[in-house]
Chains A and B, each alone.
Chain A
Amino acid sequence: MTDATPALSPPSSPRLTPAFVIGATLVGLHVIVGLITLFWAPYDPTAMTGGRLAPPSLAHWAGTDRLGRDLFTEIMVGARIALAVGIGAVAIAATIGVTIGLLAAFASRTVDDVLAATLDILIAFPTLLLAMLIVAASDGASLGTAILAIGIAASSIVARLTRILARRVLAMDYITAARVSGTGWLGIVRIHVLPNIWPTLIVNLALQFGLAVIAEASLSYLGLGAPPPNASWGRLLQEAQATVYTAPFGAVAPGIALVSLVIGLNLFADGLRDVADPTRRRR
């Protein structure tokens, strides 16, 4: 009954689902913590300020690691690294991915087929493996190579999505009309394609952000991310592994940080989709 005249019902205002609010709060917290560490942290993240593997206390909220460094400080700084990698990788993925996706959508049939096949091969390649190859090929691991590697690995997914979305728009009658009226392809992209595909793209990029955070932790865990003593959560997890029985909190604390940011990003992306895609709001 309610579906009888959906096209005529007035557009409902964007609804903020609880998931969206929780997601935005979690992400917001991490962003605030990350920003704070630019100016202040409880301790110097590399300073050996406490005893070996001290348990959580008032002085050290999350205890200390084997070198006596304050874990809470390291986790705070880790949030900044995780977010920096996420932002950098998503920016690279968006730039490369959207460009290639649009090129494929506009290209001749043959070029499009080649590009599509290449993207499929790249996507079949595990993101982490691709990132590891890129890091191995560069001269030594750094935060920059990690961002670049994760961004490039994610760009194939963005490119494929962009291509599909753009082709759907390009098949519309009003595009033919625009072409006939002499609008160049750049104009078509600007006026018609991008405005129509960005809501879906943004949601996908938010999901890619979460994946990038996990990928960075994985690379650092393997020693291929930001070199020590950068307080990446992956490095903290790797170092805590040797002492997981006697000082489990050393692994639990960065684990909570990582999980909360990734869950936050996923909920945030889900919420964004509800806001951006009106069809999702219908019952």
Chain B
Amino acid sequence: MTALPIRASRAPLSVLKATTAAALLVMGLGPVLAAEGGTDATINIGSLYEPQNLDNTAGAGQGINEAFNGNVYEAMFRLNDDGSVSPSLVKDFKVSDDGLTYTFVLQPGVTFHSGDPLTSADVKWSIERVTSPDSKSSRKNSLKPIASIETPDDATVIVKLSSRSISLPYNLSYVWVINDKAKDLQSTEDGTGPYALEGWQRGAQLAVKRFDKYWGPKPENGEVVFKYFTEATALNNALLTGAVDVITSVQSPDSLAQFKDNPDFTVAEGKSTTKLILAYNDRVAPFDNVKVRKALARAVDDKKLLEAVWGDYGTLIGSFVPPTDPWYVDLTKTDAYDPESAKALLTEAGYPNGFTFTIDTPNYDPHPLAAQFLQGELAKVGVKVNINVITANEWYTKVYKAHDFQATLQEHVNHRDIVFYGNPDFYWGYNNPKVTDLIKASEEAKTVDEQTEKLKEANIQIAEDAASNWLYLYPQIVVSKKSVSGYPLNGLNSQFFAYGIKKAE
């Protein structure tokens, strides 16, 4: 749902800004905010991911999903924190026998924050917003099977598909339902969620307030304030000093020591979907050669890298699929660490003396560190690595858009994103017709079991092809004050549902 399937940047440039913000919070607002709990409590959420704007189809980054999904905007379906999908603004739906016609009945009595009632026209407009040519949503390809949307009456939406799409409800879970009269969605909102936007101070915080005409259950708190930091240390200090109540995801294992043995805080580990990968440009030599890619996979001791970056946290993965996806298979044995066979494979591939390539490396932690680790590991099998440090913006234009790269490091945050390997035009240019067909067929499957079987097969194939070098799965760690509970742990697709968060009085 993020415009990019990756993390927004945390450039160290604005460290000063964050530190100042933290200092201000500590000195000025801290005592004021340390107010009472209860059902009208204000929950202060600390995050590193400030959205660029408020529109998830306009390159806003993952921060907007965190703040708005399920909180300010709702979709027809909801992706729950356990990975299941359940109806949200849809009360009931029917699928025709050929799987090509979906008839949705909307929840009655739903109003937008502006006061307008929810109608089928709003839903149609909202879906078309995501599929429009201007939309920068990375997932808009998934909605391609939608051929037409009909609205016979105000409460009914009929979606006709050109081909079966078993994950349509899942895909609709990231299509925000927005009032079709809404204007300027990059800085305002008009959704149906339990909270309405109260104010957004760029560079500092975004506040949402409980919406009293909400159609569903009343939230457990009165107001939620997302406070943004550009640097993990400043964020941790904010939690230590009480300026925030909870941190959505801790990005530095060493800071955990401060909270782990402290009875005032809760450290909870959820399941992450964020993968650190070394993506090759599979279009260009030598990375168009499967043997070369397999050799490089075997040359890198992922376990050692994970330990260097995360200490005792995190999980090793053998492909792009994390254990929370239904089509997970343990593939860590495929091309496991084995430098000797890596050398042999390189010789077989025609590179007995290795080769030289450049890794375009985003300038924020852990990428530069990981790049240096790879440099050391690959040197042992005779492959020389140059490190080119770039900013997140350069990454977007040079790598993601122009495909002008040999290899790059990147963190991919999304849930169920193996589908990217079925798109030969994606930035890494992996093109195996078998995988493309499997992923296409899985979408047209008649049952979830059939879909799962097909995607498992695709998963095994991309691992066999060493399509990219999947280094590790991040841990997902949420830290909060002891008095705060009820927050989501997994944060799938970066979501952070705030309505369940309770603060003890």
Contact = CB atoms under 8 A, between A and B. Distances in A.
Interface in B357-379: 361, 363, 365-366, 368-369, 371-373, 375-376
Interface in B364-418: 365-366, 368-369, 371-373, 375-376, 386-389, 391
B232 to A, nearest CB: 7
A247 interface: yes
Interface stretch (A81-89, A147-155, A202-210, A219-227): A219-227
A193 B258 CA distance: 62
Interface in A130-189: 140-141
B387 A227 contact: yes
B308 A242 contact: no
Contacts of B368: 223, 228, 235, 238-239
Interface string A243-267: 1111100000000000000000000
Contacts of A244: 233, 254
A48 interface: yes
The A contact surface, by secondary structure, is loop
B386 to A, nearest CB: 7
Nearest to B257: A246
A124 interface: no
Contacts of B308: 52, 66-68
A228 B254 contact: no
B372 A242 contact: no
B375 A243 contact: no
B13 interface: yes
Contact of B372 (A67, A221, A241, A243): A67
B307 interface: yes
Interface in B1-43: 11-13
A126 interface: no
B254 A245 contact: yes
Contact of A245 (B257, B311, B369): B257
Nearest to B365: A242
Nearest to A227: B387
A247 B258 CA distance: 13
Given A67-B376, A229-B375, A243 B254 contact: yes
Interface residues of A toward B: which range? Answer: 20 to 34
B372 A228 contact: yes
Contacts of B254: 53, 242-247
A244 B258 CA distance: 12
Contacts of A52: 307-308, 311
B257 A141 contact: no
A235 B233 CA distance: 17
A68 B12 CA distance: 23
A228 B376 contact: no
A47 interface: yes
B311 A141 contact: no
B12 A67 contact: no
A153 B471 CA distance: 40
B376 A227 contact: no
A140 B233 contact: no
A239 B369 contact: yes
A46 interface: yes
A262 B376 CA distance: 32
A234 to B, nearest CB: 10
B205 interface: no
A119 B386 CA distance: 37
B388 A140 contact: yes
B267 to A, nearest CB: 15
A227 B388 contact: yes
A242 B372 CA distance: 16
Contacts of A67: 308, 369, 372-373, 376
A243 B12 contact: no
B372 A229 contact: yes
A48 B376 contact: yes
Given A47-B376, A66-B308, A228-B389, A245 B255 contact: yes
Contacts of A238: 12, 368
A242 B231 CA distance: 9
A64 to B, nearest CB: 10
Contacts of B361: 228
Interface string B225-241: 00000011100000000
Contacts of A242: 232-233, 252, 254, 365-366
A53 B312 CA distance: 13
A70 B232 CA distance: 25
B375 A141 contact: no
A239 B388 CA distance: 16
B435 interface: no
Interface string B343-368: 00000000000000000010101101
Contacts of B232: 242
Given A239-B368, A239-B369, A227 B12 contact: no
Nearest to B367: A223
Interface of A: 46-48, 52-53, 66-68, 140-141, 221-224, 227-229, 235, 238-239, 241-247
7 A-B pairs with the lowest CB-CB distances in the bound complex, closest first: A223-B363, A246-B254, A223-B389, A243-B254, A66-B308, A229-B372, A242-B252
Given A223-B12, A227-B386, 10 more contacts: A47-B376, A48-B376, A67-B372, A227-B388, A228-B372, A239-B365, A239-B369, A242-B365, A243-B254, A245-B254
6 contacts: A222-B12, A223-B391, A239-B369, A241-B12, A241-B365, A245-B258
